Structure 1
């Protein structure tokens, strides 16, 4: 019965593997050796099956800002050498063609004295395990001797509050009712994810906004795949949202780190898709077993 929830589509010929079927039935049986009884099915329908058949979608556009496109941290100058502006027409087409229930747009919004800026290195004391400040190079990772004691990669100054570099790309479509999330506003903590700062000290309003809308499925795009997009997707999974990354609406800093991030996300149940597949997934016509199994695991933990 459960495998009928995942019909094959034109671009995905196989449905459930034998291993996926076995895991689904074990999870669905609610720990009962007797299988799926009426009470168990009622719970499954409310908390799992209904969400698969009738997804509530959110489209999260991550950090499509000037500094990452043509400014101080332009991806074209990073190891992957990718043209970040290429995500803009893909995102705009999705916003035009697909009726998402919620659209959220995240922005790095750093104060001038932010801890991630290489030129602010002298403002903070380094941990005893770090090399001397004079030897630290751009893109090195350091540990500050402060109350957080967290590791921090040193980036060029970027996305300073109120600056041109912090503005969204002028060609990006932003719906009037989009949820705008400013992150990285604490000078002593970086915030790659749209949901949390890097140390999980402070949460943005994003999860609460999505939960208020009853969101079940999240589609993530933007800049950069291996940094802010990837961390946003990780937290999306942790909050229990079925999560997909839209590959042709993503650009990277480093290709090796992108592969590592992608592999990690897929192991947790995220899927990587093309923008042409988004509409059918939003409509509930293309249902991915990987996402459903991850949602079932999350349900069993609650």
Structure 2
């Protein structure tokens, strides 16, 4: 995959406004010294809280160059991240860290797209999302095939650093299949103690080891079957990589990063680290299961994470809303596919993503 585009917005210099409040054009080639000079209004060689606030107002803008509202708590958290010695100022050395680790990554992010489980069984096969209850979903929201068009459009129009396709890839004797329930012993704490009483979508507890809860699904995405194949209409980009999950018969795997017990990784972590990715864009099926688990794990790993709403479909409106709220609470962002390109190119710079990066930098400083 090609590198992220080198974005430029004119000269990258200070431009005072009529009220003497400077605006600043951030680019990937702007010298750090120009930036600190632009906002150091009292010329003491440091940035105080007010001056840092001005920097953030210039930095966090949408694609129309309109400033985002930044709540005071987020501003304080970002300022405190770089005021390492807690003297109320971001000094020259502290600003070097702010510039290299934060500003440059916000202006020129490196983005990966993770397309989750756009497979036949989830679209028109044994575990099709379209078979969901009418009481749970509006019909328009229930058609899993509708994710293909926005995903293809993104692949055609947005230059991601790397693209990954995940596949549920289960062996015949996988623990999640209802028809395999008698192959393993239920734990005494299982809400359904008799395996013969278990039905599709019930949750049981297996003895293990380790003891684990498991939702029972219809047989789906069996390795090398038609149901496990990517949908024929989904574009597969040259140079992309496939991530296989759920290959261990004894543990399920919703996330593209780990199995559900975090006993093993899929390899995606190493892939992202090797390409220097800063931002993860996640979409696919199912919104409130594998897509949500992948996005939450991306946040846990420290990536600025974006879930693409119209390129994902799920089973329950209530669970989809809960997924969105979890992402927002962890400084993730949920957007429409039309908004992706501007964020990838650094023209739309969201304060939520800036806060996420600042908090990750703070963790590293404390280690």
TM-score after normalising by structure 1:
0.97
Query: Match of 2:239, SS?
Result: coil
1:206 and 1:32 map into 2 onto residues whose CA distance is 37
CA distance in 2, matches of 1:230, 1:241: 14
Measured in 2, the distance between the counterparts of 1:109 and 1:184 equals 6
Residue range with higher mean Cα deviation, 252-261 or 63-72: 252-261
Contact kept, 8 Å, 1:8 with 1:15, in 2: the verdict is no
Q: Is the aligned partner of 1:45 residue 2:107?
A: no
Q: CA deviation at 1:9?
A: 4.1
Give, in whole Å, the separation in 2 of the partners of 1:261 and 1:11.
30
Q: Which residue of 1 aligns with 2:151?
A: 91
In the alignment, the residues of structure 2 paired with residue 135 and residue 28 of structure 1 have an alpha-carbon distance, to the nearest angstrom, of 57
1:178-200 residue CA offsets vs partner (Å, 9 max, x unmatched): 11000000000100000000011
Deviation digits for residues 87-131 of structure 1 (CA, Å, limit 9, x no counterpart): 001100110011111000000000000000011001000010122
Spell out the pairing of 1:183-262 with structure 2 (5 A cutoff): 183-262=245-324
Listed one character per residue, the Cα deviations across residues 233-287 of structure 1 (whole Å, up to 9, x for unaligned) are: 0111111110001111010011111111110111001100011110110100101
CA distance in 1, matches of 2:65, 2:187: 51
Inter-partner Cα distance in structure 2 for 1:108 and 1:180: 11
Question: Which of 124, 127, 140 matches 2:187?
Answer: 127
1:103 corresponds to 2:163: yes
In structure 1, what is the Cα distance between the partners aligned to 2:64 and 2:347?
A: 11
Q: 1:137 to 1:288 in 2, by over 3 A?
A: same
Deviation at residue 31 of structure 1 after TM alignment: 4.9
The residue aligned with 1:34 is 88
For 2:296 and 2:187, how far apart are their aligned partners in 1?
28
Q: In structure 1, what is the Cα distance between the partners aligned to 2:64 and 2:328?
A: 21
> 1:11 Cα deviation (Å)?
11
2:116 touches 2:285 (CA, 8 Å); kept in 1? yes
Where does residue 230 of structure 2 map in the other structure? Answer: 168
For residue 14 of structure 1, report the CA deviation from its aligned partner.
3.4
User: What number of residue pairs does the alignment pair up?
Assistant: 302
Q: 1:267-278, aligned counterparts within 5 Å?
A: 267-278=329-340
Look up the match of 2:207.
Answer: 145
The aligned residue for residue 61 of structure 1 is 115
Which residue of the other structure, out of 159, 175, 178, is the alignment partner of 2:221?
Answer: 159
User: Residue 118 of structure 2 contacts residue 230 of structure 2 at CA under 8 Å; is this kept in 1?
Assistant: yes
Given that 1:3 and 1:21 are in contact with CA atoms closer than 8 Å, whether structure 2 keeps it comes out as no
Secondary structure in 2 aligned to 1:209? helix
1:291 is aligned, of 353, 359, 362, to 353
- Superposed displacement of residue 146, structure 1: 0.9
- 1:75 corresponds, among 106, 121, 129, to 129
Cα deviations across residues 133-183 of structure 1 (Å, max 9, x unaligned)? 122221011111011211111011100000000000000001121110000
Question: Greater CA deviation, 160-169 or 144-153?
Answer: 144-153
What SS does the corresponding residue of 1:125 show, helix, strand or coil? coil
- What is the rounded CA distance, in whole Å, between the counterparts of 2:248 and 2:66 in structure 1? 43
Structure 1 unmatched ranges of 5 or more: none
Are 2:60 and 2:68, in contact at CA under 8 Å, matched by a contact in 1? no
Asked if the contact 1:108/1:184 (under 8 Å) is kept, the reply is: yes
Does the 8 Å contact 1:191/1:198 carry over to 2?
Answer: yes
Which residue is 2:48 aligned to? Answer: none
SS at match of 1:152: strand
CA RMSD of aligned residues (A): 1.4
Unaligned runs of 5+ in 2: 1-54
Higher relative CO (CA 8 A, sep ≥ 6), structure 1 or 2? 1
Q: Deviations over 1:6-28 (max 9, x none)?
A: 02445987332223222221222
In 2, are the aligned partners of 1:126 and 1:142 still within 8 Å (CA)? yes
